Structure 1
Amino acid sequence: MATARPSFEATVSAREAEVLAAVSEHLTNAEIAERLFISVRTVESHVSSLLRKLQVTDRRELAQAGRPVLGNRGSAWSVGTPQTTLPRPLTPFVGREHEVADLARALDEHRLVTVVGPGGVGKTRLALRVADEVQGRFADGVVFVDLVPVAEPDAVAAAVAGALGLGESQQHSVEEVLTGWLSTRRMLLVVDNCEHLLDAVSVLLEVLLTACPGLTVLATSRSRLLLPFELTYPAPGLSLAAEDGRPPDAVELFVSRAAAAGSPVGPGDLGRVAVLCRNLDGMALAIELAAARLPALGLDGLEAGLADRLDLLAGGSRVDDRHRSLRSALDWSHALLSEQERALLRRISVIAGPFPASAAVEMLGDWDPLVPDRVPAHLARLAEESLLVPVPTALGTRYSQLETIRQYGAALLAAADEVDVAHARHLHWCLATAERLGEPATAGEEGELWRARFDEASVETRWSLPWARHRADQREPAYRLSTLMADLSLVRGRPGESQRRYELAAELAPDDTARTLALRQAAGAADGRQFGNEAMRLRELAAEAAERAGDPTGAAVDLARAAELVERGPGIMAVVPPTSEIERLLSRARPLADGDPRAESRILTAEAFGRGERDPEVRSLVDRAIQLARTAGDPLGESAALDMLTAVQLAEGQLEEAFESAVRRTELLVPVPVAADSALEFFDSYQMGSQCALAAGDLGEARRLGEGLLDLPFYREEYHLATSRLIVVGLFTGAWDEALTQAELFRTGWERAGRPLQGNLRAAPYSAATIHALRGDDEARAEWMTVVATLEEPLRRRRAGAFGKFFDSLVLLHRGRPAEAVELLAQPPESLVGDADAMWRAWYASAWCEAAVLAGLPDAQERLRQAEQVTVGNPVAQAVVLRARGLAGSGAGSAGGGRDDIVAAASALRSLGARYQWARSLVMLGGADRERGLAELDAMGAAPTAWPPG
């Protein structure tokens, strides 16, 4: 039975409202960050959330949408989040009311409807019009999938996932990610231009429609998909008969496009236009091409020229009349072009997406008979003749090709025997474009423009490399292009794409030295995206390549890093390897190290992780690893060893020392470039630093270091990785609205990534669940706990221990149920070992003793003494213990000798930024303080706390 889909309804939080107001003032992200004293990346997260909530596509629309929202902040304004990605045609849709109505009804009765017909009949425009008409029926929106840029059958599922914004999963295929995402949604997919990938599309749609009962698909194709449950709808040409006193649709289209071209058609010529449209079989594209010619040729010229072209085709079979009608219009338009314009038309068919005039100049301008300075004029002429479509973008005007015309041009290219030359020029242009992207800009409008330029280059690269990878003479530029785009993909925030491109670069590499480097970078990208099993696989491959290349010490490092990950990163493993893998890998690494300090350091670090932080010899192993890494000048190796040292210090209760080690890691990495190979250390240093700051009760530093994850460029679109620490910090600081906004980004990112099994992220959804519980929303809490359970799946031996019990105890104590909290916290705090539990030992101890006091346990005083020792190094937890001592001395909520302790605790909690515990302390004080505390809790959205406890 499918689980209920989580609700994605959310209100605009107070912080989001501040960001929205600043956007409405047209401030840049950098200016907003400066105004609100937050990081640029935090601003970007809020902007992304607002774009999603308000269902707009860019900042201009967001500024407009923000005005009514900001004007109604006093109301309970909220929106759902249906996803709609229908492209908007530049010209109005004409006629076809009956077809639109027929297809809309068909989508009510059938889950797969395929609009079939020849190229140019108007299938795409019709499908878009129908989708726009029916989108209100689909609670989760309508998504458009264009298969034109998809060159290989294996890429169909990835194209659909990309249109939905879904990433890849550690443990699931792309098809499984799609079914997982769509299985609980009511959505319409519009899959356009299926004809060149019929088998792959059919297989995928059958899987999706079988597994996803709320999914409906509207496809367009020149041929049917041949699925048993498919309803085929032949797209007719535009109507040629008048109806209800209106001109035929074909005539209306011609008149509309002719008027747009500057040549209105008079009433007296409508009959001649009708005949012309009839000769074109009502083919929409053919009629548009003819209408575009009207200013130059007039009706006389159109009639004469079209008659000539039709005569050339007379006498053949009528089975494909409409193809012949379109071909006649295209041939005729082509014949009227100059030699240079014809050459340009066929050669630009190798370009996949919208392109600037400068691209055509650079790529094709010196190819005879073209002349560089005339290419822009030729492009303008092709656009005037409706053979290209000008498209305004943030980067300026781009030219787009209708797929039918692009295919026509590709046929002409093949006939001219120019295919290989054109593709080679396209590949080299892609490489030059990637090189020009230069140093990435990541913030503000400059960053948005850089990302737009990258996205253009990425589309062309995806089209170019499948052709180049199988041609020996193009392997070298293809290798360079794949490597460069891999580097840039990581900075763009697409580590999955980066990993794939590095792996392709390894395949194309000229030698084993280059192959080793590409595989190491691929492993780093896998690390960065938290795909630990992939990272281990790739590091072993890198080691093999390094040995072949004569680099044994490099191979030793690769093997040691793979071994290190077994116990260092079980939280990023879909399948946790057995600990025996450590010795298997290290037994291969040791003979290769040959005394090299970098390799020896990594081997020692891997051994230390394998032994665990409680082993008495681990400290000496780590100290030696740190010294060797410094000798080798290897900050990444030193950071890895410091990570293990931090775990040892936590296990020994040295909170301040662990915090210092974690911060030292972030400082050590400052001069290190953010790249694939350093991605794991950057992520781990910030998340570990934030966790250690939290363990030490420094909430401000916990937030600052948590925001460091937001600033890592490779997490730009990996919301679940970027926001994970801030959600936890938000629970403690009382910034609950902001934490839940981040949590929605977390859930969206996690689901789009295929619900990866990343146990190291469990505290984030558990924190969201706890906030909802403190607000009295147990249903929302249950939804978040299903996320926690999924993340724990590969870590059954490491279930959420101390932090889960501590979070649950907060809820029980808030609800006045201390006896249940005592039962939950049965384990004494000093027994919490291992860095994961030791991280939470002080917090656990504070709740452990407070529950005992409130429940009236006879050993409450002894527990207080123990908790005072355990919480040394965490001033927030110490303040909670001080409050518990005050309660023990004064009686719950009464005046007495312990009141001063409660007042002191409240003062400390306020100064430390622990808003929830401060407010709860005020409630405990009673009187006017109680009212102030209740007001603070109410402002946080907390349900009324039960005090005194029942």
Structure 2
Amino acid sequence: MVATVDVSPREAEVLELIGDHLSNAEIGARLFISVRTVESHVSSLLRKLEVPDRRALAGRAARPIAADGTTGTTGTTHPAPVLPAPLTSFVGRASERAELTRMIETGRQVTALGPGGVGKTRLALTVAADAAETYADGVWFVDLVPVTGPGMVAAAVAGALGLGEEPGRDLTESVIAALADQHALLVLDNCEQVRDGVALFLERLLAACPRLAVLATSRARLMVPFERIYQVPPLSLGGDGESDAVALFTERAAAVGWPLDPSLRAQVAAICDRLDGMALAIELAAARCPTLGLDGLTAALSHPLRMLTGGSRAEDRHRSVRAALDWSHTLLEPSDRALLRQVSLFVAPFTAAAAAEVAGVDGGIVADGLARLAEQSLLVVTPVPGGTGYRALETIRQYGTEQLAEAGELAETRSRHLRWCLARAADLAAVGPDWRARFDAVADDLRAALKWAADLPEHRAEAHRLARSLADLTFTRHLVGESQARFEQAAALAKDPADAASMLRNAAAVAGCRMRGDDMYRLHREAADAARRAGDTAGAAVGLATVATTAFRFSSKFVRVPPREEAVGLITEARGLAGESPSAQAAVALAEAGMALLDAFETAQSGGGGRGDALPETIRRAERAVELARRTNDPLAESAALDTFAAVRSWAGDTFGAAETIRRRAGLLAAAPVTPAGTHELIDALAEAAEAALGIGDLPDARRWARQLADHPLLAEVGHRATSLLLVADALAGNVDQVLTGGVRFLDTWRRSGSRDTPVLGAAAAGVMMVHGLRHDDEAQREWQEVLNQPETLSEHAHGYGAVFDAILLLHHGQAARALERMAPDPEEVWRWITWTWLHWYVALRAEATVLAGSPNAAERLADARTVVSGNPVATAIVERAEALLDKDRKRVLATADAFETAGCRYQSARSLILTGGEHAARGAVLLSDLGLAPIAVPAG
């Protein structure tokens, strides 16, 4: 039965862009709408099309949507296979198709093996298309031709799947997370150039994805134990003219306007036999029929250049393809031969203007030559940003490169290509509306040029410049994993150790954006060593102190946090090198303040929970670090110092002081340059600013900071991290619609990330789960409990946000005694978890639960709570309401409704109206229903 789904025109536009693998931020920019609006459309599409995640939406994007906005669905749908559309028909190979299909049905990984030009790719694509209905979660195609190194295989697969890099994990892990439970077929084409990288990638992928099958094409075996080989044979040959090879030749000749008389089939069969049944050679030969005829083709194939210079110079596996290409090459004018080999260096589609620069000839002459090459099937015409582009098939591109070497032109042409790449990289430094498309169009060429130049001493300076440019460009493109690697490569290529130190610091900052604390630590240490080699003792001191600071500032990003003794040694060494340098002294002071805080915290913990006697000295050190950093006029140094000072004030119980410090830090970074280090500091500051506002009950400000964090383009592909604090703020405010919409994005990207969690993500999950509990949606509650069942969240959830959200839910259900039991520990006993964001909420709700549970010490606890939460509008209103309930003062209870409304806390406002009773309770019930929540259980009396 066919159902109809009503998709709006705007949703259809969003769906199309999802199919192009654009992020929400990029879709918003393309359609001139906010990211929040895009998120709403994505949530609606997930619901309407009844698909589980964004990747499934991308598959649905390939289906046509009618003019009336409807799309047909059936009860048993399969994602449309993500395969290149063939430009010509597939001819013959019935038995090969059947055999290869049987092999992928019974084997986890099959390699279609054969020489270049035999037809491996077309066979694999046809078999994959035939098998598409077998794989419930789709068929995906990845072309590995542009991949320049084994380490980039995962990036190519992730790009094909529409996956972005996520902080805290590499791209292989992202791919594994996306395909872990998928019944899908992955086609990896042209594996031979990176077979070691493919082998390592597949070993991890197949071990973690039990329902995934992989079909690879390669000229060489991958040499892994689980590989099953299918040797792709040449097209079948037959003297009677009835064969696949003859059928292919006949069809391609007819396509170029030269239909063959059946009586000529034997002559065609002879030509195909001379071509060894190689599909590419046959297609090229058929394309020449209009100009040479069969007699001319036969004569051309007798030419001695069928082999480059004889059998001893060519590998057997290249023999037939080389013959076809040599024959085609001999038919070209000398100028066209030169142009073909010159443009063979382009990895990606290129324009006539680009070809002119690399070939070093006049643009008009090049344009005519490219047209002639395209007419002779040696180049493919393809659209590119801003006009017409050309692309050489990989085998032809390799052939042209060999011709360059034989002509003695390879080094000179590569040098021109390198200069062209450097110029394109410089052009891309100016970001514009079409920047992404312009970068993507040349990125593979930049990478290829860098790979060549990096190994040549005479081009080391240019390679360094290109690596540095590519590092910056990939960071802007949000390819942060590659950006870190390019900064490290630029450091290795730098002639000046001071330059290397700069590149390593940038690499460390990018690692921070990726949540890679161990890399940050290593790279800052290498930067310090490079500064020391450059004779920059102050820079070395800054680097060593930063290494120590990284260990405590970003400890949650580490797999293995370095031991305290190591950090102490680094600080001692940095102190000895600092001299009179203001920057070095500020960095050392910051490291000392962080160490003092860490020591004081550990002392307090080992002593049973108090904050210890070290508090005054810790505060003094933090204040000094801020003052020294301010004198450097470096906003990033001052931001780091303010971060530590805020942590000290928070640990001291100075909630409002900590919040003021963090607001100051966020404001300082508002005008900071968009660099890796600046971006890393800004993302961290936005998160802390949102948490600080939550901690002091400023919900509108919390939403403002959290919205800025959610909209940051670097987090576009990691919705769970981007939206976590916004979900917390909306849950506390009672913004139910926003929670439900944001929760869809959170859960989708969290699961795609491999279901990894941190305490801050746990708070978001607990908030969404609470909202579902307030709605009496038990099934949704159980789904979100999965997020909370992570080891990292257990202690935090036990006493911090978990107690707060559980208490709100229990009080909603009228279970005050259970709420009081949930928050039985005194705040001073669990201060490690509830100091900062959750302290005031915990204290206020604990006081309310005490009153509603009829506890005899309610008055005393209320008095203590009022002192703690003073200045927090939401927590103060909760305590005020509890006290009014204790005194049975309905007028004061009613007054808190306005206080909550002013503070942006609609749920608590409705609760106050209901607890007031009478006609106010009816109004509160309506407001609660408008929020989408279930009725409150009013306590007796």
Q: TM-score, normalised by structure 2?
A: 0.85
Equivalent position to 2:549, from 564, 569, 580:
564
Q: Which residue of 2 aligns with 1:423?
A: 414
Instruction: Rate the CA distance shift 1:566–1:282 in 2: closer, same or farther, 3 A.
Output: same
Greater shift after overlay, 752-761 or 637-646?
A: 752-761
Q: Deviations over 1:359-412 (max 9, x none)?
A: 22222234xxxx443222222222222222222245543323322222222332
Q: Which residue of 2 aligns with 1:512?
A: 497
Instruction: Rate the CA distance shift 1:311–1:750 in 2: closer, same or farther, 3 A.
Output: closer
Q: Deviations over 1:596-632 (max 9, x none)?
A: 2222222222222222285222332233222222222
Per the TM alignment, residue 128 of structure 1 is displaced from its structure 2 partner at its CA by: 1.9
Equivalent position to 2:878, from 877, 880, 883:
880
Per the TM alignment, residue 472 of structure 1 is displaced from its structure 2 partner at its CA by: 0.7
Equivalent position to 1:914, from 890, 905, 919:
905
The 1-side partners of 2:78 and 2:36 are apart by 21
The 2-side partners of 1:34 and 1:283 are apart by 47
Greater shift after overlay, 688-697 or 657-666?
A: 657-666
> Aligned pair 1:809/2:800, yes or no?
no
Residue correspondence of structure 1 range 657-676 to structure 2 within 5 A: 657-676=657-676
Greater shift after overlay, 812-821 or 157-166?
A: 157-166
Per the TM alignment, residue 507 of structure 1 is displaced from its structure 2 partner at its CA by: 0.4
Residue correspondence of structure 1 range 180-329 to structure 2 within 5 A: 182-238=179-235, 250=245, 253-254=248-249, 257-258=252-253, 260-261=255-256, 276-277=271-272, 279-298=274-293, 301-306=296-301, 308=303, 324-329=319-324
> Aligned pair 1:433/2:424, yes or no?
yes
The 1-side partners of 2:6 and 2:660 are apart by 37
Per the TM alignment, residue 178 of structure 1 is displaced from its structure 2 partner at its CA by: 5.3
Instruction: Rate the CA distance shift 1:626–1:197 in 2: closer, same or farther, 3 A.
Output: closer
Contact (CA 8 Å) 1:15, 1:738: kept in 2 or not? no
User: Structure 1 counterpart of 2:522, which letter?
Assistant: R
Q: Secondary structure at the match of 2:288?
A: helix
Residue correspondence of structure 1 range 455-534 to structure 2 within 5 A: 455-534=440-519
Greater shift after overlay, 938-947 or 612-621?
A: 938-947
Q: Where does the alignment leave 5 or more consecutive residues of structure 2 unmatched?
A: 47-52, 602-610
Greater shift after overlay, 654-663 or 459-468?
A: 654-663
Greater shift after overlay, 432-441 or 616-625?
A: 616-625
Q: Which residue of 2 aligns with 1:5?
A: none
Per the TM alignment, residue 724 of structure 1 is displaced from its structure 2 partner at its CA by: 3.2
Per the TM alignment, residue 790 of structure 1 is displaced from its structure 2 partner at its CA by: 4.7
Q: Which residue of 1 aligns with 2:621?
A: 621
The 2-side partners of 1:661 and 1:16 are apart by 43
User: Structure 2 counterpart of 1:117, which letter?
Assistant: G
> Aligned pair 1:117/2:120, yes or no?
no
Instruction: Rate the CA distance shift 1:165–1:695 in 2: closer, same or farther, 3 A.
Output: same
Instruction: Rate the CA distance shift 1:67–1:565 in 2: closer, same or farther, 3 A.
Output: farther
Contact (CA 8 Å) 2:306, 2:322: kept in 1 or not? no
Q: Which residue of 2 aligns with 1:707?
A: 707
Contact (CA 8 Å) 2:492, 2:500: kept in 1 or not? yes
Instruction: Rate the CA distance shift 1:348–1:543 in 2: closer, same or farther, 3 A.
Output: same
Residue correspondence of structure 1 range 312-391 to structure 2 within 5 A: 324-366=319-361, 371-391=362-382
Q: Which residue of 1 aligns with 2:141?
A: 144
Per the TM alignment, residue 675 of structure 1 is displaced from its structure 2 partner at its CA by: 0.3
User: Structure 2 counterpart of 1:496, which letter?
Assistant: G
User: Structure 2 counterpart of 1:603, which letter?
Assistant: V
Q: Secondary structure at the match of 1:190?
A: strand
Residue correspondence of structure 1 range 605-620 to structure 2 within 5 A: 605-612=590-597, 615-620=615-620
Q: Which residue of 2 aligns with 1:7?
A: none
Instruction: Rate the CA distance shift 1:478–1:903 in 2: closer, same or farther, 3 A.
Output: same
Contact (CA 8 Å) 1:639, 1:665: kept in 2 or not? yes
Instruction: Rate the CA distance shift 1:324–1:700 in 2: closer, same or farther, 3 A.
Output: same
Contact (CA 8 Å) 1:170, 1:756: kept in 2 or not? no
Per the TM alignment, residue 61 of structure 1 is displaced from its structure 2 partner at its CA by: 7.3
The 2-side partners of 1:330 and 1:691 are apart by 65
Q: Deviations over 1:314-359 (max 9, x none)?
A: 9989x99985443322221111112222222223333222223322
Q: Deviations over 1:856-877 (max 9, x none)?
A: 3222333333333333232223
Q: Which residue of 2 aligns with 1:838?
A: 836
Q: Secondary structure at the match of 2:131?
A: helix
Q: Which residue of 1 aligns with 2:608?
A: none
Q: Secondary structure at the match of 2:697?
A: coil
Contact (CA 8 Å) 2:166, 2:718: kept in 1 or not? no
Per the TM alignment, residue 480 of structure 1 is displaced from its structure 2 partner at its CA by: 0.7
Contact (CA 8 Å) 2:358, 2:420: kept in 1 or not? yes
Instruction: Rate the CA distance shift 1:227–1:674 in 2: closer, same or farther, 3 A.
Output: closer
The 2-side partners of 1:21 and 1:323 are apart by 44
Instruction: Rate the CA distance shift 1:903–1:389 in 2: closer, same or farther, 3 A.
Output: farther
> Aligned pair 1:129/2:114, yes or no?
no
Contact (CA 8 Å) 2:834, 2:842: kept in 1 or not? no
Contact (CA 8 Å) 1:919, 1:936: kept in 2 or not? yes
Instruction: Rate the CA distance shift 1:623–1:235 in 2: closer, same or farther, 3 A.
Output: same
Greater shift after overlay, 151-160 or 519-528?
A: 151-160
Contact (CA 8 Å) 2:350, 2:389: kept in 1 or not? yes
Q: Which residue of 2 aligns with 1:8?
A: none
The 2-side partners of 1:928 and 1:356 are apart by 75
Greater shift after overlay, 531-540 or 449-458?
A: 449-458
Aligned-residue identity in percent: 45
> Aligned pair 1:540/2:500, yes or no?
no
Contact (CA 8 Å) 1:560, 1:585: kept in 2 or not? yes
Greater shift after overlay, 501-510 or 293-302?
A: 293-302
Per the TM alignment, residue 206 of structure 1 is displaced from its structure 2 partner at its CA by: 3.7
Per the TM alignment, residue 715 of structure 1 is displaced from its structure 2 partner at its CA by: 3.3
Q: Which residue of 2 aligns with 1:6?
A: none
Q: Secondary structure at the match of 1:838?
A: coil
Q: Which residue of 2 aligns with 1:689?
A: 689
Residue correspondence of structure 1 range 505-904 to structure 2 within 5 A: 505-612=490-597, 615-739=615-739, 741-746=741-746, 749=749, 761-776=761-776, 781=781, 784-785=784-785, 787-788=787-788, 790=790, 792=792, 801-829=799-827, 833=831, 837-890=835-888, 897-898=889-890, 900-904=891-895
Contact (CA 8 Å) 1:179, 1:208: kept in 2 or not? yes
User: Structure 2 counterpart of 1:416, which letter?
Assistant: A
Q: TM-score, normalised by structure 1?
A: 0.84
The 2-side partners of 1:58 and 1:208 are apart by 21
Contact (CA 8 Å) 1:532, 1:574: kept in 2 or not? yes
Q: Deviations over 1:665-710 (max 9, x none)?
A: 2221233211012233211221111111122222222122122224
Q: Deviations over 1:569-603 (max 9, x none)?
A: 22222223333343222111112221322222222
Q: Which residue of 2 aligns with 1:407?
A: 398
Residue correspondence of structure 1 range 58-69 to structure 2 within 5 A: 68=69
Q: Secondary structure at the match of 1:792?
A: helix
Instruction: Rate the CA distance shift 1:618–1:405 in 2: closer, same or farther, 3 A.
Output: same
The 2-side partners of 1:468 and 1:195 are apart by 22
Q: Secondary structure at the match of 1:350?
A: coil
Instruction: Rate the CA distance shift 1:761–1:291 in 2: closer, same or farther, 3 A.
Output: same
The 2-side partners of 1:103 and 1:154 are apart by 29
The 1-side partners of 2:717 and 2:781 are apart by 25
Instruction: Rate the CA distance shift 1:744–1:348 in 2: closer, same or farther, 3 A.
Output: farther
Instruction: Rate the CA distance shift 1:542–1:30 in 2: closer, same or farther, 3 A.
Output: closer
Structure ranking higher on relative contact order (CA contacts 8 Å, 6+ apart): 1
Q: Secondary structure at the match of 2:835?
A: helix
Greater shift after overlay, 499-508 or 532-541?
A: 532-541
Greater shift after overlay, 136-145 or 400-409?
A: 136-145
Instruction: Rate the CA distance shift 1:198–1:493 in 2: closer, same or farther, 3 A.
Output: closer
Q: Where does the alignment leave 5 or more consecutive residues of structure 1 unmatched?
A: 1-10, 891-896
